[in-house]
Amino acid sequence: MKHRIKYSAVLFFVFLFITPFLFAGTLDEKTVTITVAKKDNLINICKTWLENPHDWKRVSEFNQLKNPHLIYPGQHIIIPVKLLKGIPMEGVVTFIKGDVWTRPKGAEARAVVKKGDVVGQSAQIETGEKSAVEITFEDGSAFFLRPDTRISIRTARQRQPYFMIRRLFVPAGRTMMHIQKSTGGDSRFEIHTPSAVSAVRGTQFRVSVDNNKTTRTEVLDGVVVVAGTKKKVMLDPGQGTWVEKGKQPNNPQTLLPPPALEGLRPSYQSLPVDFSLAMPQKAVAARVILAKDPEMKNVVKEFVVQKGDTIPKIMLPDGNYYCQALSINPAGLEGLPLAPEGFKVRINPFPPFVQRPVNGEKFKTKQVEVEWLKVSDAVSYSFQVSRESDFKNLYKDIQGITGTRQSIDLEEYGIYYFRVFSIAGDDFKGLWSDAISFSFVEPPKAPEAKAPAVDEKTISLKWQDMGPDMTYLFQMAKDPLFKEVLLERTTDVSDICFDRPKKGGTYYVRVRAVDPDGYEGRFTPAQAFEIKAFPYVEAGVIATWVIGALIIIL
């Protein structure tokens, strides 16, 4: 009878009931044995069991049949496993970053891919800019697509539990393949590109296709056979080759060692993240990858730097990161990867912006108000005041301030330096703010004054010239405490002349200097001068005597 049972049921029957009849026809090829039923013929059997029914001739030759059209019930037909149809395999999206799409076979619109989605045979997958995706199969094999990469799963089938065949087509982009070595000996994993085919049976390798359709294959582990235009080359671990479209593969080249990362610090509290590369002699460039995981999947920045160029400025938010670098040779082959080196970026909380004092500000009072802007991630602040710009010796060191202002008292005249930093909720201390200098200015000294000069009409006073742009405030009073000022004048010269007081008595004068900012110094000690009163009593006596004498005479 003809085989009309559904394929899945037939395969289940084969594996459960015919397994005892399995045997190896050759030392390196797995086979299954089919028992011929009544009215069977070889062509119908092959239609049921083979991926390609036209392979019935190969089955005939394998079984050394004298007449392939003449088989009888109960006869055993041995079929190589690699010719079987197999069960379709599906991969699962185990990692995704950014924008990734899939287009099922026959569909016009593409759908957004999410983590956990199942991707099967004939699916087309595409990653966007700064995007990546990993597809993992049940045997642990996986392929990882870098940004701007397209791939088609042409074949993904399983024949027997340990025989698998997968064919991928990569028209553009960069991929990383991880093929489990536990896969069956006859299993195949093929990467097809517009210019080459890379075939493996358990390895770790990279395949990339550039805009010119040149394929580059770099092997990190295992063995890869690269074919193109009727030529094959075998790549051992640490080797690579490139194939231009329509040309044969180039001879294998040894991959360059990775460049050395120089100056990469374990922690950064300010940006940019700076370091340099020491590239091998034969390298012309290097690829630098920054990721948030040591597997280098969650890439946050990636760029190629030419030999001799400086690393571009790297700005990253707070977090833990890993850096990896690969050398690139003149053929464009990327070398062995540097082991990821971890580092941390912690910028927040930011240094506070100091509002007061203003840099270079002068204070004429002992008490100074310092103030800064609130930092969103800060729960408290600490500040320091020093007489030295390097803050080695501290004048004030106040910690745990919950507000944004504080008063400080100054004791000595001179220059001071102030800085403040933020403290986060986890007690992480941010960077210091820029140091602000200010000064506690000593008032102008009291000028040395000469004794007042008194003549019949005027009083003059001279004092020490305190320098250019200085002015002076002069006062005269009847008491040494200057409770009632009789005369007050401002002058820009170091002397003054004023009318002699009409009333007699003791008078007091003083003067003080005023700087260009209006900062008044101390007064000179009060100096006294005497104005004698007119002798009215004596004058009256004399007048009386003169008048009396005139009367007698007259």
CA atoms within 13 A on the CB side of 406: 22
Average the pLDDT over 232-255 and give the result: 95
- At 485, the pLDDT band (50, 70, 90 cuts) reads very high
State residue 154's pLDDT score.
84
- My answer on whether 198 and 264 are in the same domain is no
Provide the number of structural domains found in the chain. Answer: 5
CATH code assigned at 415: 2.60.40.10
- My answer on whether 330 and 368 are in the same domain is no
Percent pLDDT > 90 in the chain is: 67
Domain end: 39, 61, 83, which one? Answer: 83
Is the residue at 540 inside a domain? no
**Cα(452)–Cα(530) distance, integer angstroms:** 10
- My answer on whether 238 and 96 are in the same domain is yes
**Cα(377)–Cα(381) distance, integer angstroms:** 11
CATH code assigned at 265: 2.60.40.2550
Is the residue at 428 inside a domain? yes
Whether residue 183 is predicted with pLDDT greater than 70 in this model: the reply is no
State residue 546's pLDDT score.
66
Domain end: 187, 219, 254, which one? Answer: 254
State residue 18's pLDDT score.
38
Residue 542: CB atoms within 10 Å: 11
The answer to whether 126 touches 107, Cβ cutoff 8 Å, is no
Is the residue at 48 inside a domain? yes
Is the residue at 544 inside a domain? no
Whether residue 536 is predicted with pLDDT greater than 60 in this model: the reply is no
Is the residue at 552 inside a domain? no
- My answer on whether 247 and 103 are in the same domain is yes
Range in 8-22, 149-163, 383-397, 421-435 the model is least confident about: 8-22
State residue 79's pLDDT score.
86
Structural domain boundaries enclosing 501? 453-531
Whether residue 223 is predicted with pLDDT greater than 80 in this model: the reply is yes
- My answer on whether 104 and 188 are in the same domain is yes
CATH code assigned at 54: 3.10.350.10
Average the pLDDT over 445-460 and give the result: 92
State residue 3's pLDDT score.
42
- My answer on whether 123 and 235 are in the same domain is yes
**Cα(162)–Cα(164) distance, integer angstroms:** 6
* Token duo for residue 90: 């599906």
Is the residue at 545 inside a domain? no
CATH code assigned at 143: 2.60.120.1440
Whether residue 186 is predicted with pLDDT greater than 60 in this model: the reply is no
- My answer on whether 184 and 327 are in the same domain is no
State residue 538's pLDDT score.
57
Mutual orientation of helices 42-49 and 7-17 as an angle, nearest 10°? Answer: 100
Higher pLDDT, 30 or 213: 213
Whether residue 165 is predicted with pLDDT greater than 60 in this model: the reply is yes
* CB-based contacts of 280-284 (< 8 A; 24+ apart in sequence): 280/256, 280/327, 280/335, 282/256, 282/327, 282/329, 282/330, 283/256, 283/259, 283/307, 283/327, 283/328, 283/329, 283/335, 284/328, 284/329, 284/330
- The sheet carrying 414-423 orders its strands as 361-363, 436-440, 414-423, 380-386, 394-401
- My answer on whether 71 and 114 are in the same domain is no
Core vs surface per residue 5-19: b (16+ CB within 10 A) or e: eeeeebbeebeeeee
Is the residue at 337 inside a domain? yes
Nearest to 289 by CA among 172, 130, 133, 151: 130
Q: Is 129 exposed, middle or buried (0-12, 13-18, 19+ CB in 10 A)?
A: exposed
- My answer on whether 242 and 308 are in the same domain is no
The answer to whether 192 touches 200, Cβ cutoff 8 Å, is no
- My answer on whether 249 and 149 are in the same domain is yes
Per-residue pLDDT reduced to its tens digit, 341-400: 999 999 999 999 999 999 999 998 899 999 999 999 999 999 999 999 999 999 999 999
Per-residue pLDDT reduced to its tens digit, 296-339: 999 999 999 999 999 999 999 999 999 999 999 999 999 999 89
State residue 80's pLDDT score.
84
Domain end: 392, 409, 440, which one? Answer: 440
Whether residue 37 is predicted with pLDDT greater than 90 in this model: the reply is no
- My answer on whether 266 and 337 are in the same domain is yes
Residue 526: CB atoms within 10 Å: 17
Is the residue at 150 inside a domain? yes
- My answer on whether 172 and 293 are in the same domain is no
- At 6, the pLDDT band (50, 70, 90 cuts) reads very low
Nearest to 177 by CA among 147, 152, 205, 155: 205
Whether residue 217 is predicted with pLDDT greater than 80 in this model: the reply is yes
Whether residue 494 is predicted with pLDDT greater than 70 in this model: the reply is yes
The amino acid present at 47, given as its one-letter code, is: K
